[in-house]
Structure 1
Amino acid sequence: MAEEKLQFTDAPSCKAWLAKLPRSSPTQCHAELAAQVRLLLAATIAPEAKFAVLEALREPVAESQAEMARNCRGKPVPLQTHDLEAWDSVVGAWRAMASGYDALIDAMASTAPDLATQAHVICQRALRYTALAMFEHCHVYYAVNGALWQQLHRLYVFSENAGLAATTVDDTVGRRTATTTCAATYAHALLMHLAQPDALSGEELNIVDRWLERWESMVTLSPDPLAQSSVPALAVDLASSRGAGLAKNMPAAGVRHLSVETLGKALRHAAAGIKQQTPAQLGLGDVARNACEKLLLLLHVQWCAAGTGRADERTPASIKVMISSSLASIHYHLTGKAFRQPGGELTAAERQRLDMFGSLSEAGGQALASQRSAAAETWVIVNQSVSGFLGTTTEKDVVNRISHGQLVGIQPTAKKVMYVGIVQRLIVDLSGTIWIGLRIILGAPQAVSARIADGTAKYDRGLLMPEDAARKIPASMVLLPGWHQANRILNVYADSDKARKIKLQTLLDRGANFDRATYTAA
C-alpha cells in the first residue's frame, strides 16, 4: 500500500486538489479528505498557509461529513461494527479539523505572531469543530468523553483571556446564521447538552441545533453568581470534564454562571406565537405545530427551569426483567405461541401430529415461533414511577439492539405480567452500559391479529391497549409501522372473540417499529 502524502502546500494547490475529488463515491471522497486533514496536522508548512488551507477545506469537509454521517446516525445501539467505523471516521474528521485550528493557537505564541489578527476566527473554528464532534455523540446516543469537554472549556478560556470571546466571526459553513462569536459557539454546545439529547430523536436534535443558531447569543457567561431566584441557577466548571449543570454543585472558583433570562423570554414568546402562527412564520422551520410546541416546552424546562419538569416521583428499584424488542416478540410472549393466520390451515407436520396424538403439543407450537419472535433478554430496572422505568444492561449482554422511540415489552421475571413501553431516553455511557428510559403505555396489552380491510391483505400482529381514564387517554391499538391512516378500517381478531372492524383515528405515537393510534368501532 502506497504511503499517503499531503497533496497540497497552500490554498491554491488545495483547491486544485479538491476539484479532482471523486464526488461520485462518497466513501472514497470522505476517506481522502479525512486523510489529508490528518496529514496537514503534521505537515511542515507555514502556519499562515495551514490556516488558509483549513479555511479552503471547510465546505468540502462539511458536505462529505453530512453524507458519511447518514451511515451511522439513528442506528440502534450498540452500533454494529460497520456503523461504528463510519461514526468513528466522522468524529475523527471533526476532531482533526479542531486540532488543526487548535495548533494555530500555539503557533500564534511562537512562530506565527501575525496570525493573532485572526485569533478570534481560529478559536471559534476550533470550538465549532470540537462541538461538532460532541454533537455526533448525541446522534448515536453515546456519552461524550471527558477529553472533549476539557478541550471545549480550554478553548473558551483562551478566548476570554485573549479578550476575543465577544468578537464577531463570520461562519456560514453548515449554518444558516451568518455570524457568531466564541462565547456564542461555546454556549451553543453547552445548551445542546443541557437539552437532554438522550431524550430527543435525530430530527429533534437537528431542530434544536438549528434553533440554537438564533438563540446562542442570548446566553451570557459570567464569573459572578446570578441574583437569587426560585429557579435553580446553571453554571459550568471550566476545569471539569463535563458540561453545565446546577450552580449549587459547582466549586467556588473557575466557574462561569449562565444567564438565560433573555433566552427564556424568547422561548416563551415562541410558545405563545405558535398558537396564532405557524412555526415557519416564526422562523422555527418546517415543523409540525404540536411537535414544535412540545419541544419548546421541553427546552424551557431544561434551560430555564433546570430540568424541574418531571411529573411522577421515581423510586429506586432492582428488578430483573425480560425485554422483548419487537411487536412480534411482544405478541409471542403474550400468547405463548407462534403467530398464525386466523383460521389458517395446519401444516402437513401439524396434521400428522394431530392424526397420531390427537392434539398439537405445546412444544410443537413453540417450535413454530421464529427466533426473532421469541427473542427476549434480561435487563435490570433500577428505578420506576407510575408512568415509566429506567433500565440498564451492558453491551456484551445485548442480543437485540435498541433505538430511540422503539416499542418494547417488559416482563418482570418474578411476575406473569407484560408492560408495553416506548424508549424515551437512550444513552450508552463511557463504560459501555446501555441505559433506557421507558414511558409505559398503561394497561394490560391484549395480543390480537389485524389486517387492513381490503379483502386481500394478510393478518399480522397487533396489540389493543385499554383506555387510561385517569389521564384521559382513550383506548388505542399498536400496529406495525406505517399502518396508521386516519379513518382506515381494520379487521381485528383475538382468540377470545370474533373478528370485528375498527376505524383508526388519531396517531398517538410513532416509532421505528410501530404505530399507535386511537380507534372507534367501524
Structure 2
Amino acid sequence: MESCSQWLGQLQLTNLNLAQNTLSNQIGELNRLALSGKVRLQILETLRETVALVQHDCAKKLGGKALPLADEELALLFALANLWQAMLHGYLRCVQMAAAGDASIAKKQALLQQRCLFYARCRLEAFGTAGYAPDARSWQQLHALYAAIESSPLRQENVRDPYFHDAFPASCQTLYVATLLLHRARLLGLNRSELQSAESWLLHWPETLSLVAQCSASRNDAPPLAVDLRGAQGLRSLAHAQRSDSLRFLPLVPLSKQIRVKAILLKQGQTPRQLDLGDALAAKDCIALLETLHACWCEASTDTLADVPRPTQPVHLCAGLEKSYGQIAQKPFKPVKDVTKAVRDAQLQIATFGRVLDETGRHKLQELGFVPEEWQVESNGLIEARLLRLHASDERLAPRQIVIVFAPESDGYKAGMVRQIEVTQGGLLYLVVHYLPGQPQAVIAQAAATGGEQWQSSSAPALLLPALENLRIPASLVLPRGWFAPGRVMELITPARSKRKIALGISVESGSDYERVSFSLL
C-alpha cells in the first residue's frame, strides 16, 4: 500500500493524456497480478481519487465539441472508457475472489458490487458527456452486473461511496435504476446542476425504484417502463419492448406520486431544503425540473428516434450561415466589395436585359456544394424540433450552431439553434433544434470601414428575422460571430440587390457561429 501511495505521489498530472495512459496501463498490470483480495481492494480504493481527478479533467476536453468527433477526440473518448473499464475489471476480480472463498473480503461483497455498478455507470457517462449514445457493450455490462445480484440480498444493502453524492448511502438496485432513469432524461437539455439534483433526488427515494418481472397498469396510472437485462439499450416504453424472460418492468406510480407531491408542496410555499431537495436549485427551478422529469419518466410517450429509429416524415436541414443563405436565396453567397458599383451594374443589366443577371445561374446549388441533408422528424413544433439524420455523414454539427429547417419542395424556412446533439448507437446524428422567432430572409450584411472603428470594409451572409407584431417580438438580424458591436452601421442587401441602412442595437443571443442582434433603421 505504501508503494502505491508513493507511486501516485510521483505521478505527473500536468500532462493529462500521459497520466491517463499510465494509469490505464498500471491498472491493467494490477488486474493481471496474483494478489489477495484484501490487498487488491486496498490498492483499488487508493487509486480511486487520482483516477477520478484525471478522468474528470480529460472529459472536459470533449464537452461542446462538433459531432461526430474527430479521430483524435474519438481516441480520447475511448481512453476515458478504457480507464473506467480497467477499474471495473479490478473490482470484478475482487468479486470473483470473494465468490471463490477469499475470507479477507467476504464481508465486502455489497461494496464490491456497488463499485462495479459505479464504474459501469462511469463508462456510460463518459459516452454521454462526449455526446455519444453508450455502445452495446457498456449496456450489456451494466445489465449483467445487476442481473448477477438480482435475486441476492446484496442488491438492497446500502453502501456509502465517498466519490458519489457525498457518500450518501445507496443500494445497488437504487444506483442501477437511477442510472437508467438519468439516461432516459439525457436529451431534456438539463444542465449539470439539474442532472446532479435529479440523481440526488432519486437516491433519496429508493422506495419508489424497483424492478419486477410482472407488472400491470391502470388507464390513469403512470405507465411502466421496461428494460431487457440481456439487451444492449436502456429503458424502453412498453410499445417498443420485446417480450422475453429477461425483461423487467419499472413501475412508475410511486415515483409519479412522489414527484407530484413535492411539486405541490413547493407551490404551497415549502422550501427545497424542507422537502429534502437540496440547496442547489431555487424553489421555482425545482418545480420546473420536477415537472420536466415527470413528463419524461411518468407520462405516456414514445421513445425518441435516437433510441428507436423508425420511418417518419422527412425534412431538409442546412447548417451554417453561408449554406442557409444559399438555400433561402437559391444562389451562393458572393461577397460584395463595392455596393455602389454592384447596384450600378444591376441597374445597367435591368436596362439592357430587363433583369439582373445571375452569375451562378448556369450552376445548380448542388454543384456548388449547397446540398441540404434529409432528416427524419420526431417532433416539429413552433419552438422546438427533434430530428434524426437519415444517413451517416462526415459533416459535423456543433452545439449552438445556426441551422435552417424546411420541408422538401417548400420555402417555409425556419431558422434555429442546435440546442442538443447526440451520435446514436447506429452512428446517426440526433438533434434538438430551438427555433428563432420569424421566418428567415437571406440578406448580405455590408459594413463600411470608418476612421473611428476597428472594423474593415467587408460583407457576410446574414439572416433577417422579421418582426412578429402579434407577439410583440421586434425584428432581429443573425450575423456571423465577431460581427456585432453596439451602434455599428451597415447595409442589408437582399438577393435582388435592394438595400437598407441600419445601426446595430444589442446582442439578443449568441451561438457557436452566429449572433442574433437587434437593429434600427437609419
When normalised by structure 2's length, the TM-score is 0.78
User: What SS does structure 2 have at the residue aligned with 1:170?
Assistant: coil
Provide closer, same or farther for how the CA distance between residues 295 and 109 of structure 1 changes in structure 2, counting only shifts above 3 A.
Answer: same
Please give the alpha-carbon distance, in whole angstroms, between the structure 2 residues aligned to 1:462 and 1:273.
Answer: 45
Residue 154 of structure 2 aligns to a residue whose secondary structure is coil
Deviations 1:213-236 (CA, angstroms, capped at 9, x unpaired): 242341320425366343322233
Q: Distance in 1 between matches of 2:484 and 2:102?
A: 62
Secondary structure of 2:387's match? Answer: strand
- 1:438 Cα deviation (Å)? 3.5
Question: Residues 37 and 104 of structure 2 are in contact (CA less than 8 Å); yes or no, is this contact kept in structure 1?
Answer: no
In structure 2, what is the equivalent of residue 22 of structure 1?
12
Shift in Å, 1:132: 1.0
Q: Does 1:430 align with 2:425?
A: yes
Deviation at 1:268, TM superposition (A): 6.3
Q: AA paired with 2:416?
A: G
Q: In the alignment, which residue of structure 2 is the partner of 1:190? A: 180
Does the 8 Å contact 2:201/2:277 carry over to 1?
Answer: no
* Contact 2:95 2:112 (8 Å CA) reproduced: yes
- Residue type matched to 1:330 in 2? S
**Alpha carbons of structure 1 residues 306 and 57: separation in structure 2 relative to 1, 3 Å:** farther
Structure 1 partner of 2:295: 301
1:392 equivalenced with 2:386 (yes/no)? no
Q: Give how far 1:187 is off.
A: 1.9
Q: Which amino acid aligns with 2:189?
A: L
2:500 corresponds in structure 1 to 498
SS in 1 for 2:10: coil
Residues 426 and 435, structure 1, Cα contact 8 Å, conserved in 2? yes
Q: CA deviation at 1:77?
A: 1.1
For residue 119 of structure 1, give the secondary structure of its aligned residue in structure 2: helix
RMSD: 4.3
Matched, 1:251 2:243: yes
* Alpha-carbon offset, residue 427 of structure 1: 2.8
CA distance in 1, matches of 2:446, 2:262: 45
Quote the offset at 1:503 in angstroms: 3.2
After TM superposition, give the deviation of residue 304 of structure 1 in Å. Answer: 2.5
Query: Which of 375, 381, 392 in structure 2 is aligned with 1:381?
Result: 375
Aligned equivalents of 2:387 and 2:117: distance in 1? 34
Tell me what 1:464 maps to. Answer: 464
Question: Of the candidates 105, 108, 120, which is equivalent to residue 118 of structure 1?
Answer: 108
Residue by residue over 1:4-35, the C-alpha shift from the partner in whole angstroms, topping out at 9 and shown as x without a partner, is xxxxxxx3221111111012222211111111
Label 1:133 to 1:191 Cα distance change in 2 as closer, same or farther (>3 A).
same
Deviation at 1:365, TM superposition (A): 11
C-alpha separation in 2, matches of 1:213 and 1:85: 31
- What letter corresponds to residue 237 of structure 2 in structure 1? L
Which residue, 405, 408, 418 being the options, matches 2:403? 408
- Three-state SS of the structure 2 residue aligned to 1:28 is helix
**Structure-to-structure mapping, 1:93-492, within 5 angstroms:** 93-173=83-163, 175-176=165-166, 178-195=168-185, 197-200=186-189, 204-205=191-192, 207-218=194-205, 219-223=208-212, 225=215, 228=218, 229-247=220-238, 249=241, 251=243, 253-254=245-246, 255-259=248-252, 261-262=254-255, 265-266=258-259, 269=262, 273=266, 295-307=289-301, 319=314, 321=316, 323-335=317-329, 336-338=331-333, 340=335, 343=338, 362-363=358-359, 376-383=370-377, 385-387=380-382, 388=385, 390-395=387-392, 397-399=393-395, 401-410=396-405, 414-415=409-410, 418-441=413-436, 443-448=438-443, 449=445, 455-457=453-455, 460-468=460-468, 475-481=475-481, 488-489=486-487, 491=489
**Identical amino acids, percent of aligned pairs:** 22
Relative to 1, partners in 2 of residues 1:490 and 1:238: Cα closer, same or farther, differing over 3 Å?
same
Unaligned runs of 5+ in 1: 1-10
- 1:305 Cα deviation after fit: 1.9
Cα deviation, residue 110, structure 1: 0.9
CA contact (8 A) 1:325 1:376 kept: no
Aligned length: 487
Farther off after superposition, 175-184 or 40-49: 175-184
Deviations 1:179-218 (A, max 9, x none): 32212211221111110x24536xx256313531242341
* In 2: Cα distance, 1:29 partner to 1:270 partner: 45
* 1:84 CA displacement: 0.3
2 CA distance for matches of 1:516 and 1:181? 48
Aligned in 2, Cα 1:25/1:252: closer, same or farther, shift over 3 Å? closer
Choose which of 40, 51, 54 in structure 2 pairs with 1:50.
40
Q: Partners in 1 of 2:320 and 2:270 — Cα distance?
A: 39
One-letter amino acid matched to 2:387: L
CA displacement 1:144-181 (0-9 Å, x = unmatched): 22332222122223334330222221212153453322
Structure 1 stretch 128-137 or stretch 139-148: which is displaced more?
A: 139-148
Task: Answer whether contact 1:199 1:426 (CA < 8 A) is retained.
Answer: no
Q: What is the aligned partner in structure 2 of residue 6 from structure 1? A: none
The one-letter code of the counterpart of 1:172 is P
Which residue does the alignment assign to 2:512? 512
1:70 match: 60
In 1, Cα distance between equivalents of 2:334 and 2:437: 24
Q: Deviations over 1:248-276 (max 9, x none)?
A: 64637542424463465347636874897
Q: Shift of the alpha carbon at 1:55?
A: 0.6
Q: Could you tell me how far 1:502 is from its partner in structure 2?
A: 5.1
> Structure 2, unaligned stretches of length 5 or more?
305-309
- Residues 278-303 of structure 1 show CA distances to partners (whole Å, capped at 9, x for unaligned) of 99999666669987765444322112
Going from structure 1 to structure 2, the CA distance change for 1:483 and 1:297 (only over 3 Å counts) comes to farther
For the structure 1 residues 308 and 79, does the alpha-carbon distance in structure 2 shift closer, same or farther, using more than 3 Å as the test?
Answer: closer
Q: Secondary structure at the match of 2:210?
A: strand
Q: CA deviation at 1:241?
A: 2.6
1:245 is displaced (CA, Å) by 2.5
Partner-residue secondary structure (3-state), 2:374: strand
Secondary structure, counterpart of 1:161 in structure 2: coil
8 Å Cα contact 1:391-1:437 kept in structure 2: no
Q: Distance in 2 between matches of 1:276 and 1:484?
A: 43
Inter-CA distance 499–469: structure 2 relative to 1 (3 Å threshold) = closer
Deviations 1:122-145 (A, max 9, x none): 111110110111112212222222
- Please identify, of 73-82 and 429-438, the stretch whose mean Cα deviation from structure 2 is larger: 429-438
Partner residue in 1 for 2:307: none
